[in-house]
Amino acid sequence: MEPILPPYSIQTPIYITPPSSPHFRESSLSPSPPLSVCSESFISLVPHCSCKDKKIERQRERNIVRERERSTILTKMELPRFVIGAAEAESMAKEAGLTSLVQLLPILVASAQKLARPPISNYHVGAVGLSSDGRIFLGVNLEFPNLPLHHSVHAEQFLFNNAAANSAPDLRFLAVSSAPCGHCRQFLQEIRNSTDLQLLITDNQNDSNFKPLSQFIPHPFGPNDLLHKDTPLLLEPHDNGLILDFNLSNGYTRDNPNLENSALQAANGSHAPYSGCPSGVALMDCEGKIYRGSYMESAAYNPSLGPLQAAVVAYVAGGGGGYEKIVEAVLVEKTGAKVRQEDTTRLLLRLISPQCAFRVVHCGCPSSVCRKASNLCE
């Protein structure tokens, strides 16, 4: 190969053979074909820091900072917890060097996933939501062995139930470990102005931006299609006006009035505008602690969350251990309800806590309250 000479000045060719080349180690008796470059090309081969190198270095530094921030936050989340108060959330974000609470949500998703209980799928899902009052709520998926899969609780349902139980006014931002399934996208429709809810899927490394729910469910069917505009939606105050009716309880005696009153309170806070059949469950563990859950309906019916599942969410979020520690349960539901929870609740309880004592107390409501509730559904 003829050497390429520069068009000016030095007429001596420059030969460069990379040390890593196999020809470099061969005997001089069999020289490799020389690589010839002009002096200008030689200059370009001198090591220097390119723009690409600078970008890589800046990215590496950002990753180090992120890991430091993540470590600071995760240290505070070593103990199981499902609610972070506004002041503490602000402090956590500040200590981690974050500029907003929204940036805290995806960092907390991994902590939420560790709290999931999916013994069937072993697929841990975590969800973290931010309310307008500055509080942060966590949600996880729950699965129950020996029961049909539709009894499972999805992480987004857990989160919304957790927020409702703690009187959150709304949820503005939601970060989830995996893309919400169709079941959950439908359930998310039950809040006011749901299309404005901002979602982030943390397992999508190519997109770290929150997007409105309207992009995840472009042609929604929800409360606006079935309910009067004044009907309270999920996360809004509910008062179903129910009262206990012991005349319909077949000789039932009030062995644990605190548990019954708690179940009644849950039933009065139940979101059941589609069936008009609110209900609530209260659980008591072996330490005497009480956990209550309200039945939550969906406009599409199937994503509805039963009152026992809601109470189990409260049990898990409240630091409850194994389900076998649940020793007593009371269900409150309306007399002659078209949607009855008794049989399903009894089945689920028998399998997760076989020794649990279970009772049903029926309730009614003053006729004026019942008429008002009926009118809201028209």
Between CA 108 and CA 281, with CA 322 as vertex, the angle to 5 degrees is: 90
Task: Determine the length of the chain.
Answer: 378
211 bridge partner residues: 199
Q: 206, 217 in Cβ contact below 8 A?
A: no
Displacement of CA 369 from its chain's centroid (Å)? 35
Give pLDDT, residue 283: 98
Q: Is 70 helix (H, G, I), strand (E, B) or coil?
A: helix
Residue 168 pLDDT greater than 90, yes or no: yes
Which stretch of DSSP H or E encloses residue 240?
A: none
345: left (phi over 0), alpha (psi -120 to 50) or beta: alpha
Task: Read off the pLDDT band of 280 (50, 70, 90).
Answer: very high
Mean pLDDT of 44-60: 68
Task: Read off the pLDDT band of 368 (50, 70, 90).
Answer: very low
The single residue of 156, 260, 297, 333 carrying the catalytic annotation is: 156
Please name the residues in contact with 71: beta carbons below 8 A apart, sequence gap of 6 or more: none
User: What is the biggest distance separating any 2 CA atoms in the chain, rounded to whole angstroms?
Assistant: 114
Give pLDDT, residue 1: 52
Q: Can you tell me the distance from the alpha carbon of 279 to that of 306, in angstroms, rounded to the nearest whole number?
A: 9
Q: What percent of the chain has pLDDT over 90?
A: 69
Strands of 111-218, DSSP E: 126-130, 136-140, 173-176, 198-201, 211-212
Mean pLDDT of 35-52: 53
Please name the residues in contact with 7: beta carbons below 8 A apart, sequence gap of 6 or more: 38
Q: Is 375 helix (H, G, I), strand (E, B) or coil?
A: helix
| Among 287, 290, 260, CA closest to 165 | 290
Helix spans in the chain (H): 39-44, 51-76, 86-95, 104-113, 155-165, 182-187, 223-226, 257-268, 307-317, 342-352, 367-376
Provide the mean pLDDT of the chain: 84
Question: pTM higher than 0.85 for the full model?
Answer: no
**Residue written as tokens 């940036």?**
103
Q: Give the pLDDT confidence of 109-150 residue by residue, as tens digits.
A: 999 999 999 999 999 999 999 999 999 999 999 999 999 999
Q: Quick one: tokens of 152?
A: 């499972």
Q: Can you tell me the distance from the alpha carbon of 256 to that of 264, in angstroms, rounded to the nearest whole number?
A: 13
State yes or no: is 78 an active-site residue. no
Q: What percent of the chain has pLDDT over 70?
A: 76
Q: Would you report the helix, strand and coil content of the chain in percent, each value rounded to 5?
A: 40, 20, 45
Q: 181, 217 in Cβ contact below 8 A?
A: no
Q: Give the pLDDT confidence of 283-338 residue by residue, as tens digits.
A: 999 999 999 999 999 999 999 999 999 999 999 999 999 999 999 999 999 999 99
Q: Give the pLDDT confidence of 342-365 residue by residue, as tens digits.
A: 999 999 999 999 999 999 999 987
CA torsion through residues 116, 302, 190, 222, sign: positive
Q: Can you tell me the distance from the alpha carbon of 309 to that of 116, in angstroms, rounded to the nearest whole number?
A: 14
Task: Read off the pLDDT band of 16 (50, 70, 90).
Answer: very low
Task: Read off the pLDDT band of 206 (50, 70, 90).
Answer: confident
Q: Quick one: tokens of 262?
A: 């708690």
